[in-house]
Amino acid sequence: MRLVENIIGAMRGKAGTPIPGGIKPPDYKQATLRSRLMPTPIPRELILPLIQHGSTRTKPLVKPGDKVLKYQTIACSEATGIVDLHAPTSGVIRAIENFAIPSPLNKESMCILLESDGFDAEIDHNAITDYCSLSYLELAKLIEEGAIFGLGGEGYLNRLKLSSGKAVKLLIINAAENEPYITADEALLREKAKLVVLGAKILQAACMAEHCVIAIDSNNTDAIEALEQTQLNCPIELIKVAPKYPTGSEKQLIQTITSKEVPSGKYPADIGILMHNVGTAYAAYQAVVEGKPCISRITTLAGPALQTPKNFETLIGTSVDYLLELCGLNQQDHTMTLMGGSLMGVKLARTDVPILKTTSCIIAASNAEFPPPALEQACIRCGFCADACPVSLLPQQLYLYAKCQYYSELISHGLNDCIECGACAYVCPSNIPLVQYYRASKEEIGNQLKNEMSSAQWKQRFQYHQYRAKKDKEASRESKKRGAVAKTDEAVQSAGSTVQNMLPTFSRESAKKEIAAAVDRVRKRKTRLIASSSDENTESSK
């Protein structure tokens, strides 16, 4: 722990150690920071996907026609780490069916359609003013009940982070927002820094971290000023990091702050470090202190096709179309819509899709800043991609293996360590969409593993079936053998009892009677013999 204290002490108020590689693209952040953070008007309809994270669907607790109140639980799941779904406003459930969800492939998923009534009526919720009196388990439970998972974009499950059971030496609150266009965290810190710091204290108490720091880009001057004013008499340290992309990525920020690398295949918790986004800290404050579950998030609306780009506190389930209209979408300039940043975001197939808890940014792109992709050319092995890689991989080698579908070589060369930041594709002079190749390879490897697991499961089931059939056959044979033996024993017993029944019953009295009868018979016989002999003698004398 002394090492962490020394690192924090050395970096206090200074920029962190730069990560290897990285890029410095234009940030395009000024336009969205000109106005204050604004809550969105309540939309007429909200589309709430039942799958919030991963592939586990929550179970609806409502049906079409039901009236619901704001913050009411409308779907839940018993699966580990899957948070409940709450109504962002009051209204009526109109449908539970498939709707379009954010995807480059025009996917649909089961959703709840909530029609708002405009009253925004709330259920009662329990506010807790003295959260310091709560144990870490009680705090973790309140955070879980607040339906919070990582709001930094990746959507990591906070319950699994807080309940990992591993000692946490350092908690990092990530405000290093260095991907172009995204200013959601900076806008939140400028106006609600005090609440974010309180949320950071709650998270620190919930995971029992020994130290807590807030990491922020050194050029976010307004947010830094707001934090420094809030930080008075506060044990949470503020660390300024170089505004180089992708410093804000989890493992890269840990390396920047502590000079320690998270081993391949491991998690930050394995080295005693935990990281949460500033949006997660704010949501933790709302869940614990105000008793309100997470029903909204800060979302940046940016891009050259918008007349008034800004940051909104957006209700979950709000349509992207609705937000674009609020910012004055120029249909003539609008060529595509990105969800996320310009480097890691995904192109939406349609815009009538809902805002999710992981939606940090919506970009209305135009040809001016997002020209059509140039024609892909052959790799010239310039090495620019390797210089830009923040994980120190060999992107050109991974690209060749991906094209040849050498999946074992891809894995051995660290494909799973690729964070898909897009820095390699950004600097590639041959316009090769490297990240697309890596994503496709990861997906194919995942499918192969699923197939292998499925085959192994079927094989295991078949072997178990064969084993059971053999055991049943042996049991049947043994049962028949035992039945035959039992029948033989019964026959012997039956025969013995029959013979026994045929024998006269022995007793002393019956024996005396039988002897007396035999003696009497002998006496009578002798008498008859004597009588007959005397008669013969009489006749002969005559």
Report CA 519 to chain centroid distance, whole Å.
105
- Nearest-10 Cα torsion for 343, 147, 317, 180: -20
Length, in residues, of the chain = 542
Q: Which residue has the higher pLDDT, 494 or 142?
A: 142
Q: In this structure, which topology does domain 379-487 adopt according to CATH?
A: Fumarate Reductase Iron-sulfur Protein; Chain B, domain 2 (1.10.1060)
Q: How far apart are CA 194 and CA 374, in angstroms?
A: 46
What pLDDT digit, counting tens, does each position of 8-65 carry? 555 554 555 678 999 999 999 999 999 999 999 999 999 999 998 766 789 999 999 9
Cβ neighbour number for residue 170 with a 10 Å cutoff: 25
pLDDT at 541 over 60: no
Token readout for 317 is 């389930």
Per residue in 377-409, pLDDT (tens digit) is 999 999 999 999 999 999 999 999 999 999 999
Can you give the residue ranges of every domain in the chain?
2-39+126-364, 379-487
Q: How confident is the model at residue 262 (pLDDT cuts 50, 70, 90)?
A: very high
Above 90 in pLDDT, residue 159?
Answer: no
pLDDT of residue 156: 55
**What is the residue type of 49?**
P
The Cα–Cα gap between 413 and 524 comes to: 123
- H helices of 76-157, where? 136-145
Which of 14-28, 88-102, 353-367 has the lowest average pLDDT? 14-28
User: Do residues 172 and 273 touch, judged by C-beta distance below 8 A?
Assistant: yes
**Residue 3: its pLDDT value, please?**
46
**Residue 334: both structure tokens together:** 């609008």
Mean pLDDT is lowest, of 113-127, 345-359, 517-531, for: 517-531
- Greater confidence (87 vs 461) lies with 87
- The torsion of the CA quartet 252, 253, 254, 258, rounded to 10 degrees, works out to 110
Question: Taking the alpha carbons of 268, 221, 370, 427 in that order, is the dihedral positive or negative?
Answer: negative
Distance CA 190, CA 226 (A): 6
Under 8 Å CB-to-CB from 457, ≥6 apart: which residues? none
Q: Is pLDDT at 111 greater than 80 in this prediction?
A: yes
What is the Cα–Cα distance from 398 to 413, expressed in whole angstroms?
A: 7
196 CB-near residues (< 8 Å, 6+ apart): 173, 188, 189, 278, 281, 282, 285
> Comparing C-alpha atoms, which of 195, 190, 147 is closest to residue 296?
147
Grade residue 505 by pLDDT with cuts at 50, 70 and 90. low
pTM for the complete prediction? 0.81
pLDDT tens for residues 126-157?
888 888 899 999 999 999 899 887 666 554 55
Percentage of the chain beyond pLDDT 70 is 86
> What is the average per-residue pLDDT within 243-265?
93
Looking at residue 181, its amino acid is Y
Peptide bond preceding 371 in cis form (omega within 30 of 0): no
Closest by alpha carbon to 112, among 147, 82, 85? Answer: 85
Helices (H) and strands (E) in the chain, counts: 14, 17
Q: What is the pLDDT of residue 14?
A: 52
As beta bridge partners, residue 276 has: 173
First-to-final CA distance of the chain? 151
What 3-state DSSP class applies to 31? helix
Q: How far apart are CA 388 and CA 386, in angstroms?
A: 5
Q: Which of 272, 283, 254 is nearest to 207 (CA)?
A: 272
Q: How far apart are CA 91 and CA 114, in angstroms?
A: 6
Query: Percentages helix, strand, coil for the chain, rounded to the nearest 5?
Result: 40, 15, 40
Distance, CA of 25 to chain centre: 32
Residue 1: what pLDDT?
Answer: 46
Evaluate whether 84 touches 76 at the Cβ level (below 8 Å): yes
Tokens 């990582």 — which residue?
A: 150
Read off the amino acid at residue 273: I
Does position 70 have pLDDT exceeding 70, yes or no? yes
Assigned CATH for 2-39+126-364: 3.40.50.11540
Spatial strand order of the sheet with 45-49 comes to: 45-49, 108-116, 91-100, 67-68
